[in-house]
Structure formats: C-alpha cells, structure tokens
C-alpha cells in the first residue's frame, strides 16, 4: 500500500531533490562538524559567577542546620543561598498532566526543612570560578536527622499520591466468562535519558528581565514560568536556545537548578552560570521507568484476549516534577497497544519513595507497558500452544476497524488510533527475517546445545501532540526563505525536516530555507520539542503556511499560520530480536535486531533510520545494561559511567530498519506521524521474549534489565534448557 499515499500533495513530482521523502543531509551538521557549535558551556559573559549546588547526602530526614560560615569566607565566594532565602519562591509547577492530588508533592527549589532524596538541592554557592564554587560547597556540612528511606513503590510506607484509572467494557464479566485467565507480574528497572550534554543554564540580567541561555526543549514554557515564579513581567524572560546535545525527555524541563540560576542572577545582578556535571546528572536529573505491572487477561478459546485487568505501581521518586502524571497516564492509556482488548480496566498507583524524582524518557509509559503487555501476549501463546506471531495475529486490530477508538485518554486527548495496518506490518517484519526458516534454524541450534532465541514485540506509538503550532514563513528579497517557529531543536534534525517541507512547497533548495527556533522573542508562543511532535505539528504548520505564501505570490511576503490539532497521530511498529546467551556468564549477545515502523509518511528516511537506530540503542540499554540502584539507606549506587552502563558501539548490534508508509495519518494533509520513539518502545519486550526462548523456559523473564546474573539465575531454574539437561547447580558444569 506504499502507493496509497501517491495521491498526497507533493508526492511523485520528482523534481525537488531536497523536498519531502529525500534522505537530505542534515543542515545542522556543518557547524557541529567544524567544531563551531555553541553549547551552553561554551558561553561566558563578563562578570558572571558560577553556581555549585550543595546536595543532600541523606535520602530522607529533617534538615536541622546548614552552617555557611566557612563557605562564605572561602576564596572567590560571592554568595551562598539556602531554602530560607527562597521560602517565598513557589514550588515548581506541572507543565503537563497535573492533578490537584499531586500538588502537595511538588518540589521546592531548595529544601526547606526536610529532605527526600540523595541529591536534593539544599543550598547554592556562587563564586567567581567553578573550581572555587565547588571548593566552597564542600565546606557546607548539612546537619540532617536521618529518617527511614522508602525504596519500593509497593511498600506500605510509600506515599500513595493518587491512582489513575482507565475503564471500559465489562472486565468482570469477561473474567468470569473466560476460557482461561492468564496472570503475569513483571517490572521494569529504573533508568533514564543520558544526553551527551548535561543540563546547564546561564541567566543574564537584561533591562529588568533576563536572557536565558542553555534553555532547551520547551523554551517558551520555561521562560514564561520563570517570569511568573520570579514576579517579572510576562515576556521579560527571553530564551535563547543554542545547540543542544540531546534531550530524550530529560533535558530541558524546568528543574530546581534552573530556577536557582535565574533567581540568583536577579538577586546578584550579574550573569549566573551553571553546568551540571555527570555526577549531578545521575543524582538529580529526572529518572524514569521503574514500574511494576500486575496483569490478568481473560482469554477465550481462540486465544483472543477479551479483557485485561491491570494494576500498575509507578515509582515517582521523592517529588512530582514538571511532568506531573504524564508517565502513569501514558502507561494506562497505551497499555492495550495494537490489540482489540474489548474490555479493559487499569489502575496506576503513583507512589512516592526516597529516590530521585522521575519524569519522562523516550517512549515514556510505552517502553514499560509494551514490555508488560507483550509478556502477557507471549504468556497467552504459551498457554494455548501457538507461536507468538500467531497469538498476535489473532488479537490485532484490523485495518477495517480504523480509525479505532481505544477508549482511553491521555495528555488531554482521547486515544483514537488514526490509521494502521498492524497485521501487514507484522507480516513485513516476519517476511524480512523469514520467520519460519529463522525459527527452524534457531530450533536446530538449540538442539545442538546453543542457547539462542527469537522474540517479537509489537506496539502502537503516539506522536504529534497539539494543541497548536504557530509558524511564520517569510520569503526574503534574496529568494531565500525564513521559517520562524516556537518549536525547539534537541539535536533531532528538525531544521532539516522543516526546511525540506518548505522546500517541497516553495520550490527552493532546502539549504535556502533558514529555520529559526527556540528564540522566545521571535515568535509569541511555542510548545517546543517533545512527544515526537515537531515533524507533525510544526511540519504541517509550515506546509500550510508555505502553501498560502505560494498562493499570495508576493516576493518578500510573509505568512503567519497556526495549525491546530486535538488528536495525536499513532505510528506503530514491531521489533524482532535474536539473542544468544552465554551459559557460563549469563551474558546476552544480540545477534540480530530488526525494527519495522510505520510513520505514515517519511519526510527524511535517513533521519528516521537514525532516530530508530539511536532509539534502539537506548531501548537495548534499558533492557540489558542501564539501572539506577540504591543501598538499603537510599544511597545511590550508580553515580558514574563506571556503574551506569550505557551500551557502547561494541555492544550495539547493527539494527535492521524497515520504514513503511502504509498508513498515512488522515489527521493532517501530509499524512505525517512522528518517528522519535519507535526504536525504543519494544526493545524490552522483544529481548525478553528472545531470552525466554533461549533459556527454554517460556515466560521466565519478568524483570528488566536482564543483567548477566539475572540471566544466569534463569538458566539455573529447573525448567530451563540447562536445567533440563540435568546439569548440577554449579555454573562450572554448564556448557
């Protein structure tokens, strides 16, 4: 059905080598490759001071005293501020999915009289260079009466902030009518986004307001919020986005440190700069994932799931931050995925513990819920003795049912799958790997003693979150085009994609299109870059503005346009993983990894492939390597790259990418859907299933990440391939 989109505008002209559909090189790259990038740490202003944050070393307790005298007397120190100085500053509010029930748990900029996690900001030192600031910060020894840390979301001691629910159909009736009820408990460990560039901010007083550098992701929102928090006139805080070294949901949210920098710049009347170091990033930037799923499925005699009943425990950490209940909301709303599931009931308990607060990370609520749901579908396959692919086929929503009302809600929208041919995509993936032959060859290898397996994971993604996007497209006298947008670049290639879309309509080369973004004084409002929204929302706004500009046919003309959308678009995908286990070490080698993803329409196939491969690296990291762990007192055990294991080039398998355009979105004139998160979404699901098969113990994997030790313990279980061979408990005897 690739030709199904031939009727779309722009398709098939074949004259524009930089328009939609071409793997155009990134416009962003030349300055970055030449070392001419301008990242926050590169910027300096005369008279600036550097901030160092004093952080709690206790996970829980009462802050009794902070002796600042030595720090204040230390060389180069300009000021030291504590919670007492900022008691009038409001808590940092939700940016999205806020609920009044969560309001009591918002984080103060500096701790007032209690601390709730190791790394919580207690005080800030301002000095003339970052070395002296760090020296002085060491001289402050907070006096904390330690309390008992709560580290498990299911602990009765964890604060139960609220429960988010979804409910449609009649789950109770379906359970009693079920041919079989399949039950499953599984959990995803705590990990998060690790952008190459750590967080940071530089605030410079300017005309009664502030200029803010280092801002990312949501510049308009952050500047407006800072102005409100600091009692400045609206518009007087101006955001100037520079180059940004990765976002992934983590970087660019409004954090306590950001407010501190802005507040101190006003208080001290001089520029204040803060560059987070990696130790701080591990302790203080948003964590993510860390959910437990308790699932029950009512299944009929044809292995069709008639109902899912889900109880989810979400470890929010110590506070609720800007994302509010975003992750739990997405978990609940998207758990049913690409399957019909006629009845569904979910309760997600948002629990507070004494860990670093949590927020979104690439494919938030989906990496987790896909893992859980696909584990469940695999369990159904085992229960009915059918192949995993067949269990999926029997449950997938059919093409004829599109658009499909999922009957859940999230991010202020009703979840209605706009388009999709899920079975066709699964077929495409299975054909690519030659499923029958591959299964047979793996089965043969297992018979020869190798621990190898194949796993599948399917999912629906979401993208293109509205509700609006404004653009201004101007044709300049020299024939070039300027696009001004309130979207942001976190390194994803949005300048290129937006320029390609403008190029497609206006017939100029894409390098003649200048895309200006992240500058809050250039355009009145903007929503930034998150939720795989930019290509869809900004892209369509630019497309329609350019069409209007073309119709006006004015040289030097300018068109402002707002694209509104109340619904998200829903790309979908399927992953396949082939793994080989080492029976002696429990090590997992990914022999093959395939991602099939339908994006509706591909603006730049090269960038989509890059998004998918990079996303898969992060999904593989969360499935096998990355995990934040704590000791029993709430002390973080992971504070450097020696302990937080990012997959390296040597661990990353080549990812085979199948991008399809079967199902363009009917919700926008270009048929676009976003491509940012599909590479990450089903990694846990596919790898877990592959390890299951390799272990020879269906349903064995219940927990991510799959550390070698965890895998080895699965191999030690009596039902495993190794166990069945009757090998002794001693590892040495395996092989």
Partner 1 sequence: MKPAQFSYIAPETVEEVLAALAEHGDEAKVLAGGQSLVPMMNFRLARPSVIVDIGRLAADESLDGISVDEGTLRIGARVRHRQLEHFPANGLGPADGPLGSLLRGLARWVGHLPIRVRGTFGGSIAHADPAAEWCIMAQTLGAEMVVRSSTRPMRIVAAEDFFETVFTTSLEPEELLTEVRLPVLGPDWRVGFCEFARRAGDFAVVAALTALRIEDGSIVEARVGAGGVAGTPVRLRAAEAALVGAIPTPAVFHEAGLAATGEVDPSGDIHGSAGYRRDLTGVMVRRALGAESIPTPV
DSSP-derived 3-state class of residue 377: helix
Distance separating alpha carbons of residues 441 and 450, to the nearest angstrom? 11
Q: For residue 622, what is the DSSP state?
A: I
Contact between 272 and 211 (Cβ < 8 Å): no
446 within 8 A of 684, measured Cβ to Cβ: no
Taking contact as CB under 8 A, which single stretch among the options 109-117, 205-213, 459-467, 706-714 is the one that binds partner 1?
706-714
| Residue 692 makes contact with partner 1 by CB under 8 A | no
Give residues 105-134 in contact with partner 1 (rule: CB under 8 A): 130-131, 134
Question: Is position 717 an interface residue for partner 1 (rule: CB under 8 A)?
Answer: no
277 touches partner 1 by CB under 8 A = yes
- Locate 243 and state its tokens: 């180059």
Residue 172 or 713 having the CB closest to partner 1 = 713
Residue 79: strand pairing partners: 126
Among 85, 93, 101, 138, binds partner 1 (CB under 8 A): 138
The window from 120-128, 206-214, 544-552, 708-716 that contacts partner 1 (CB under 8 A) reads 708-716
Q: Least separation, in Å, of the C-beta of 64 and partner 1?
A: 25
CA 84 – CA 145 distance, rounded (Å): 18
Q: Which is nearer to partner 1, 477 or 650 (CB)?
A: 650
Binding partner 1 (rule: CB under 8 A), the pick from 712, 714, 722, 727 is: 712
Q: Which stretch binds partner 1 (CB under 8 A): 2-10, 275-283, 322-330, 538-546?
A: 275-283
> Shortest gap between Cβ of 589 and partner 1 (angstroms)?
10
Give the x-and-dash track for 170-209 against partner 1 (CB under 8 A): ----------------------------------------
282 vs 339, which CB is nearer to partner 1?
282
> Binding residue for partner 1 (CB under 8 A) from 393, 514, 547, 629?
629
- Region binding partner 1 by CB under 8 A among candidate stretches 13-21, 170-178, 409-417, 725-733: 725-733
Name every residue whose Cβ is closer than 8 Å to that of residue 231 and which is 6 or more positions away in sequence. none
Q: How far apart are the first and last CA of the chain?
A: 48
Binding positions for partner 1, 49-88, rule CB under 8 A = none
Residue (511 or 651) nearer to partner 1, CB: 651
Q: How near is the Cβ of 126 to partner 1 at its closest, in Å?
A: 15
- The reply to whether 427 sits near partner 1 by the rule CB under 8 A is no
Nearer to partner 1 by C-beta: 127 or 227? Answer: 127
Judge contact between 463 and 539, C-beta under 8 A: no
- Which residue, 139 or 216, has its beta carbon nearer to partner 1? 139
CA distance 18 to 502: 10
Among 28, 120, 135, 693, interactor with partner 1 by CB under 8 A = 135
**Cβ-count burial 45-67 (b if 16+ within 10 Å, e if not):** eeebbbbbbbbbbbbbbebeebe
The DSSP-derived string for 193-237 is: ---SS--EEEEEEETTEEEEES--S-HHHHHHHHHHHTTPPTT-E
Q: For residue 732, state whether it binds partner 1 (rule: CB under 8 A).
A: yes
- Measured CA to CA, the distance from residue 710 to residue 186 in angstroms comes to 14
- Asked if residue 709 binds partner 1 (CB under 8 A), the reply is yes
Distance between CA 595 and CA 657 in Å, rounded?
A: 5
The CA distance from 112 to 110, in Å, is: 6
Residues 633-662 binding partner 1 (CB under 8 A) are: 637-638, 640, 642-643, 645, 647-648, 650-651
Residue keyed to tokens 């964590």: 287
Q: Token pair 């008639």 is at which residue?
A: 306
Strands 558-564 and 468-475, sheet pairing: antiparallel
As beta bridge partners, residue 515 has: 483
- Inter-axis angle of helices 605-620 and 683-695, nearest 10: 50
- The residue (of 404 and 628) whose beta carbon lies closer to partner 1 is 628
- Helices 388-395 and 366-384, axial angle in degrees (round to 10): 110
CB of 27 or CB of 194, closer to partner 1: 194
The yes or no reply on residue 632 touching partner 1 (CB under 8 A) is no
Give CA–CA dist 623/617, Å, rounded: 10
**Choice between 198 and 503, CB closer to partner 1:** 198
Q: Quick check: 290 binds partner 1 (CB under 8 A)? A: no
CA distances from 298 to 344, 395, 465 (A): 10, 12, 33
Minimal distance, residue 712 CB to partner 1, in Å: 7
The binding track of 563-602 with respect to partner 1, each residue x by CB under 8 A or -, is ---------------------xxxx---------------
Q: Which is nearer to partner 1, 85 or 134 (CB)?
A: 134
Cβ closer to partner 1: 587 or 605?
587
The CB-of-38 to partner 1 minimum distance in angstroms stands at 22
Sheet architecture: strand order including 572-581: 452-460, 572-581, 588-598, 655-660
Q: Which is nearer to partner 1, 130 or 427 (CB)?
A: 130
Is 730 a residue that touches partner 1 (CB under 8 A)?
Answer: yes
- The residues of the shown chain that bind partner 1, judged by CB under 8 A, are 130-131, 134-135, 138, 277-279, 584-587, 625, 629, 637-638, 640, 642-643, 645, 647-648, 650-651, 707-709, 712, 730-733
């Amino acid at each position: 059905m690739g030709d199904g989109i031939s009727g779309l505008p722009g398709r098939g002209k074949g004259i524009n080598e930089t328009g939609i559909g071409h793997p155009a090189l990134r416009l962003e790259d030349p300055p970055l490759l030449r070392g001419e990038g301008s990242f926050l740490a590169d910027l300096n202003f005369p008279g600036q001071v550097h901030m160092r944050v004093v952080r709690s070393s206790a996970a829980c307790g009462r802050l009794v005293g902070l002796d600042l005298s030595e720090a204040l007397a230390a060389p180069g120190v300009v000021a030291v501020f504590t919670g007492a100085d900022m008691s009038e500053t409001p808590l940092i509010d939700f940016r999205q999915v806020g609920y009044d029930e969560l309001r009591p748990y918002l984080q103060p900029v500096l701790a007032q009289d209690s601390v709730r996690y190791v790394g919580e900001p207690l005080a800030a030192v301002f000095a003339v260079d970052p070395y002296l600031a760090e020296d002085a910060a060491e001289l402050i020894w907070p006096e904390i009466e330690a309390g008992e840390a709560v580290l498990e979301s299911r602990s009765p001691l964890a604060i139960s902030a609220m429960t988010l629910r979804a409910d449609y159909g009649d789950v109770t009736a379906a359970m009693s009518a079920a041919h079989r009820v399949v039950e499953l408990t599984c959990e995803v460990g705590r990990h998060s986004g690790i952008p190459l560039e750590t967080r940071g901010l530089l605030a410079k007083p300017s005309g009664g307001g502030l200029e803010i550098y280092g801002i990312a992701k949501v510049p308009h929102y952050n500047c407006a919020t800072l102005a409100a928090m600091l009692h400045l006139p609206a518009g007087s805080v101006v955001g100037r986005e520079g180059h940004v070294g990765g976002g992934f949901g983590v970087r660019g949210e409004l954090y306590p440190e950001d407010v501190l920098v802005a507040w101190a710049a006003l208080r001290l009347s001089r520029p204040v700069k803060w560059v987070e170091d990696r130790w701080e990033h591990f302790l203080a930037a948003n964590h993510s994932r860390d959910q437990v799923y308790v699932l029950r499925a009512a299944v009929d005699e044809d292995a069709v799931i008639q109902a899912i009943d889900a109880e989810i425990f979400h470890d929010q950490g110590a506070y609720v931050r800007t994302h509010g209940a975003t992750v739990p909301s997405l978990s609940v709303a998207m758990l049913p995925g690409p399957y019909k599931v006629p009845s569904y009931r979910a309760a997600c308990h948002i629990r507070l513990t004494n860990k670093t607060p949590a927020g979104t990370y690439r494919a938030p609520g989906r990496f987790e819920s896909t893992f859980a749901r696909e584990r469940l579908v695999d369990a159904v396959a085992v229960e009915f003795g059918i192949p995993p692919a067949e269990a999926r086929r029997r449950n997938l929503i059919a093409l004829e049912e599109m658009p499909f009302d999922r009957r859940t809600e999230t991010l202020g929208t009703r979840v209605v799958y706009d388009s999709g041919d899920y079975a066709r995509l699964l077929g495409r993936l299975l054909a690519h790997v030659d499923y029958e032959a591959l299964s047979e060859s793996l089965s043969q290898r297992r018979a020869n003693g190798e621990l190898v397996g194949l796993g599948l994971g399917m999912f629906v993604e979401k993208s293109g979150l509205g509700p609006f996007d404004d653009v201004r497209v101007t044709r300049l006298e020299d024939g070039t085009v300027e696009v001004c947008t309130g979207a942001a670049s976190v390194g994803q290639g949005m300048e290129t994609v937006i320029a390609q879309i403008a190029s497609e309509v206006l017939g100029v080369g894409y390098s003649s299109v200048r895309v200006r973004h992240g500058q809050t004084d250039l355009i009145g409002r903007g929503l930034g870059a998150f939720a795989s929204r930019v290509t869809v929302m900004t892209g369509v706004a630019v497309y329609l503005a350019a069409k209007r500009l073309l119709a006006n046919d004015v040289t030097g003309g300018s068109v402002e346009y707002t694209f509104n959308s109340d619904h998200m678009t829903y790309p979908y995908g399927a992953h396949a993983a082939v793994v080989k286990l080492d029976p002696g070490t429990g090590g997992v080698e990914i022999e093959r990894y395939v991602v099939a993803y339908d994006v509706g329409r591909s603006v730049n196939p090269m960038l989509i492939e890059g998004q998918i491969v990079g996303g898969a690296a992060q999904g593989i990291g969360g499935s096998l390597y990355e995990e934040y762990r704590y000791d029993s007192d709430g002390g973080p055990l992971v504070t450097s790259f020696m302990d937080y294991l990012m997959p390296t080039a040597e661990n990353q398998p080549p990812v085979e990418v199948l991008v399809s355009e079967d199902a363009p979105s009917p919700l926008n004139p270009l048929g676009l859907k976003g491509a940012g998160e599909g590479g990450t979404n089903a990694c846990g699901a596919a790898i877990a299933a592959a390890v299951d098969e390799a272990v020879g113990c269906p349903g064995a994997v219940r927990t991510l990440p799959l550390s070698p030790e965890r895998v080895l313990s699965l191999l030690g279980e009596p039902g495993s391939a190794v166990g069945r061979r009757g090998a002794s408990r001693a590892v040495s005897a395996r092989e």
